[in-house]
Amino acid sequence: MSEPSSTRTPTGDPGGRSSSARAFPEDPISDKPSAPAPDAPPASTKPTKVRAGDRIFKNLTTGAGLFIVALIGLIGIFLVIQAIPALRADKVNFLFNHGWSTNDPANMSFGIADLAEVTVATSLVALIVAMPISLGIALFLTQYAPSRLARPFAYIVDLLAAVPSIIFGLWGILVFAPVIEPFSQWVNSTFSWIPFFAPGNIAPNVRGTIFTAGIVLAVMILPIITSLSREVFERTPTAQIEGALALGATRWEVIRTTVLPFGKAGYVGASMLGLGRALGETIALAVILLIPQGRDFNWSLFDGGSTFASKIAANYSEFNNATSAGAYIAAGLVLFVLTFLVNFAARSIVGKKGE
């Protein structure tokens, strides 16, 4: 009898898979270290070639910056050298004396107390008047006025900076002073119990006063503060303005919560630059302010007097003597330092906001 046939499973694969599906053996792990990667090509140490045009432009710009710094330093040195002989010949305290007598070079007695007080008072009046008006104009041009009106209106405001100082002075004393005289007399008589509004050292005249000069000076510094403030407010991030409007804020609330906080430092810096401009104004104040005879400045808005710049301009005829001229140069040195410090403070404020 024949043996029964049986089905055999191919050996080597208990699961019944064909031999063609066998796993290939893994490659043996080599004990030899792998070959190192080829080194990257060395970086070129050849210096970058600077073009002649770039080198020339860099030298020119560096020289221009150094020239300005050197010029300011030389002006300061000149003022100090010229003022020292007069300060040595001065018979009184230069910083705290109110008198000014330089006609006799051998017996000079001069001080800058009155000049400093009148300069500061006139500039502060101008700043107090100009700051809110400039703020209102800048906000109107950037937030309310349509573009077709804002651009020409801004040009008109900027054109005020091109008007010569002598024109402002003549307009102030011949046109503006007579118009504002009734109001000045009313303020002087009604609030005379307040020291700032007491009768001045040129009474009963109320035209050539610090009050009149300060308002005219405010008109002169208006373009500076307005233009710089406008530039700052225009740079308020649009996303912040649109976000405030999307939350239901009114236009005034947008200005109060977004525009003013963003531009506050720039507005203060612009006002400081306007103050620096006011401190150095010469011809307009020389035309408007009346000089009192034998009476000192008493911090009344209806006082007259001379600022640093107007005093120097009105007495240039005394410059034929080096010692007498040195007294005015010493006053100019104080004004130079004061203006420099004010402008430096303004630039610092604007610079910190830019950072």
Going from the first residue of the chain to its last (355 residues), give the mean pLDDT of each consecutive group of 10, the final group possibly shorter. 44 45 47 55 62 86 93 92 91 89 86 92 94 94 88 87 91 94 91 89 86 94 92 90 87 90 88 89 91 81 90 83 89 91 77 59
Q: What is the pLDDT of residue 118?
A: 93
User: How far apart, in Å, are the Cα atoms of 146 and each of 56, 243, 244?
Assistant: 46, 21, 20
Domain-embedded: residue 257: yes
- Whole-angstrom Cα distance, residue 168 to residue 217? 8
Beta strands in the chain (DSSP E): 100-101, 109-110
Q: What is the pLDDT of residue 148?
A: 87
31 C-beta neighbours (distance < 10 Å), count: 5
Sole residue written with tokens 């004010």: 342
Three-state secondary structure call for residue 110: strand
Sole residue written with tokens 């109060």: 256
Sole residue written with tokens 């400093």: 116
Q: What is the pLDDT of residue 64?
A: 92
Contact of 90 with 109, CB cutoff 8 Å = yes
Q: pTM for the whole thing?
A: 0.78
| Total tally of structural domains belonging to the chain | 1
CATH code, domain with 274:
1.10.3720.10
Q: What is the pLDDT of residue 18?
A: 45
Domain-embedded: residue 328: yes
Domain-embedded: residue 177: yes
Domain-embedded: residue 242: yes
Domain-embedded: residue 305: yes
Three-state secondary structure call for residue 251: helix
**Residue 19 backbone phi and psi in degrees, to 5:** -65, -20
* Domain extent for 313: 113-354
Domain-embedded: residue 14: no
Domain-embedded: residue 269: yes
Domain-embedded: residue 144: yes
Q: What is the pLDDT of residue 13?
A: 47
| Cβ-proximal residues to 217 (8 Å cutoff; 6+ apart), any chain | 122, 123, 125, 126, 278, 281, 284, 285
Adjacent-strand bridge partners of 101: 109
- Whole-angstrom Cα distance, residue 331 to residue 341? 16
Q: What is the pLDDT of residue 212?
A: 94
Contact of 346 with 273, CB cutoff 8 Å = yes
